[in-house]
C-alpha cells in the first residue's frame, strides 16, 4: 500500500513539474515576423520600393528590426593632403566581411534608451549603436577586418558608412516601428522597410529582435529575395552566360548608333 502511495506521489510530482514547465513556456509568447512581399522583382523601370513588415511579441518587450545583405570585401582609397597642398590618394584599404546592406529600425519610445549616437575620433565620424544587443554600426564594426592594420579603423569605417548611407543601403531609422494594442500577453508591431534602387538582386536577412531590460530575449527571421525580371534579366543572362554574344551585340549597337548619329548630323549640315 505504501509502495502504491509512493508511486502515485511520484507521478503527481512529475505531472506537476511538467505542468509548470508547460505553463511557463505558454506564458512566454514567441516573436513572429511576416513580410508583405517576400519576393521583389527588378523590372525595366524599377526605382526601389518598400516592404511592409508585421508581427507579434510579448506585451512587455520592445522590438528592433534589422536588414542585412550578403557580406563581401570592399576596396577603398583613402585621400589625404600631400605636402599640405594637394588632395591625393594616399592609402589603399580593404574592409573584409562587410555586409552590402545594413539597416536598423527602432520604435520611437526606446530610441533614446537603446540607440546611442557617439562622435568618435578626431574626424567626428558618426557611429550609432544599439546598446548591448549586437545591433547597430558599433556592433557591426567589431566583425569587420580592415587592412592594413595600421589604418585608422574608426575613420575608415565611419567614412564607408557615410558613403553607404548616401547610397541608401545603410541606415538607422529611429521611430520607424509602430506598436498595436496589447491583446492578452502579446502586442503587434509594424514597420515599412525602405528598399532603395541600389539594393541589387540577392537574398537579404530580415530579423526582429525582442528586447527586455536591454537584453535580447527572442528573435524571428525571414528572407527577403530580390530577383531580376524582364529586360534586366535578359541583359544579365546575356552578359554572364553568353558573354561572346553579348559583346558582339554591344559592338553592333555601338556601331549602328554611331552611323545613325553621323547620318543625322550630315543631314543637318546639308540643310544649311
Judge whether 22 lies within some domain.
Answer: no
pLDDT over 60 at 243, yes or no? yes
The position carrying cell 541600389 is 198
Confidence tier at 92 by pLDDT (50, 70, 90): confident
This prediction has a pTM of 0.72
Judge whether 68 lies within some domain.
Answer: yes
pLDDT over 80 at 93, yes or no? yes
Judge whether 175 lies within some domain.
Answer: yes
What's the whole-number average pLDDT of the chain?
77
Q: Which residues contact 160 (CB under 8 A, 6 or more apart)?
A: 74, 76, 95, 98
Q: Tell me the CATH number at 182.
A: 2.60.40.2550
Percent share of the chain, pLDDT over 70? 66
How many Å apart are CA 12 and CA 16, to the nearest integer? 6
Does 118 share its domain with 252?
no
Helix then strand count (H, E) for the chain reads 6, 15
For the chain, the domain total comes to: 2
Pick the more confident residue, 272 or 110. Answer: 110
Judge whether 11 lies within some domain.
Answer: no
Does 50 share its domain with 90?
yes
Give the Å distances, CA to CA, from 89 to 76, 80, 82, 162: 10, 6, 9, 18
Does 114 share its domain with 224?
yes
Judge whether 115 lies within some domain.
Answer: yes
Pick the more confident residue, 4 or 35. Answer: 35
The tally of CA atoms less than 13 A away on the side-chain side of residue 198 is 11
Does 237 share its domain with 224?
no
Pick the more confident residue, 53 or 153. Answer: 53
How many Å apart are CA 209 and CA 189, to the nearest integer? 12
| CA nearest to 199, candidates 26, 7, 5, 40 | 40
Helical (H) or strand (E) element with 24: helix 2-27
Judge whether 100 lies within some domain.
Answer: yes
- CB contact at 8 A, 143 and 75: no
Per-residue pLDDT, 268 = 54
pLDDT over 50 at 112, yes or no? no
| Cell reading at 205 | 536577412
Percent share of the chain, pLDDT over 90? 34
- Mean pLDDT, to the nearest integer, of 13-42? 68
Q: 145-147 and 86-99: which strand pairing?
A: antiparallel
pLDDT over 70 at 235, yes or no? no
Does 62 share its domain with 176?
yes
Does 222 share its domain with 87?
yes
Per-residue pLDDT, 236 = 61
3-state secondary structure of 6: helix
Does 224 share its domain with 236?
no
3-state secondary structure of 39: strand
3-state secondary structure of 253: helix
Does 160 share its domain with 242?
no
Does 194 share its domain with 238?
no
Does 221 share its domain with 155?
yes
Structural domain harbouring 257? 232-263
Does 55 share its domain with 187?
yes
Judge whether 19 lies within some domain.
Answer: no
Does 83 share its domain with 161?
yes
Judge whether 7 lies within some domain.
Answer: no
User: Cis bond leading into 76, ω under 30°?
Assistant: no
pLDDT over 70 at 172, yes or no? yes
Amino acid at each position: 500500500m505504501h509502495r502504491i502511495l509512493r508511486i502515485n506521489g511520484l507521478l503527481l510530482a512529475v505531472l506537476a513539474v511538467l505542468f509548470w514547465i508547460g505553463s511557463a513556456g505558454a506564458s512566454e509568447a514567441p516573436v513572429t515576423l511576416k513580410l508583405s512581399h517576400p519576393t521583389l522583382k527588378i523590372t525595366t523601370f524599377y526605382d526601389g520600393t518598400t516592404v511592409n513588415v508585421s508581427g507579434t511579441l510579448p506585451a512587455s518587450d520592445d522590438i528592433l528590426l534589422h536588414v542585412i545583405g550578403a557580406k563581401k570585401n570592399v576596396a577603398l582609397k583613402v585621400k589625404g593632403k600631400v605636402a599640405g597642398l594637394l588632395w591625393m590618394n594616399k592609402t589603399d584599404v580593404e574592409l573584409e566581411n562587410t555586409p552590402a546592406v545594413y539597416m536598423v529600425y527602432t520604435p520611437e519610445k526606446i530610441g533614446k534608451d537603446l540607440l546611442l549616437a557617439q562622435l568618435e575620433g578626431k574626424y567626428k565620424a558618426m557611429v550609432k549603436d544599439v546598446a548591448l544587443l549586437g545591433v547597430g554600426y558599433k556592433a557591426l564594426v567589431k566583425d569587420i577586418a580592415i587592412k592594413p592594420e595600421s589604418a585608422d579603423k574608426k575613420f575608415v569605417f565611419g567614412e564607408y558608412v557615410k558613403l553607404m548611407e548616401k547610397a541608401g543601403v545603410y541606415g538607422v531609422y529611429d521611430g520607424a516601428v509602430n506598436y498595436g494594442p496589447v491583446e492578452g500577453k502579446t502586442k503587434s508591431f509594424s514597420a515599412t522597410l525602405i528598399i532603395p534602387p541600389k539594393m541589387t538582386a540577392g537574398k537579404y536577412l530580415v530579423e526582429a529582435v525582442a528586447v527586455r531590460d536591454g537584453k535580447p530575449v527572442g528573435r524571428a527571421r525571414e528572407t527577403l529575395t530580390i530577383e531580376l525580371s524582364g529586360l534586366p534579366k535578359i541583359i544579365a543572362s546575356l552578359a554572364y552566360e553568353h558573354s561572346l554574344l553579348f559583346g558582339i551585340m554591344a559592338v553592333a549597337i555601338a556601331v549602328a548608333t554611331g552611323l545613325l548619329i553621323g547620318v543625322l548630323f550630315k543631314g543637318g549640315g546639308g540643310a544649311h
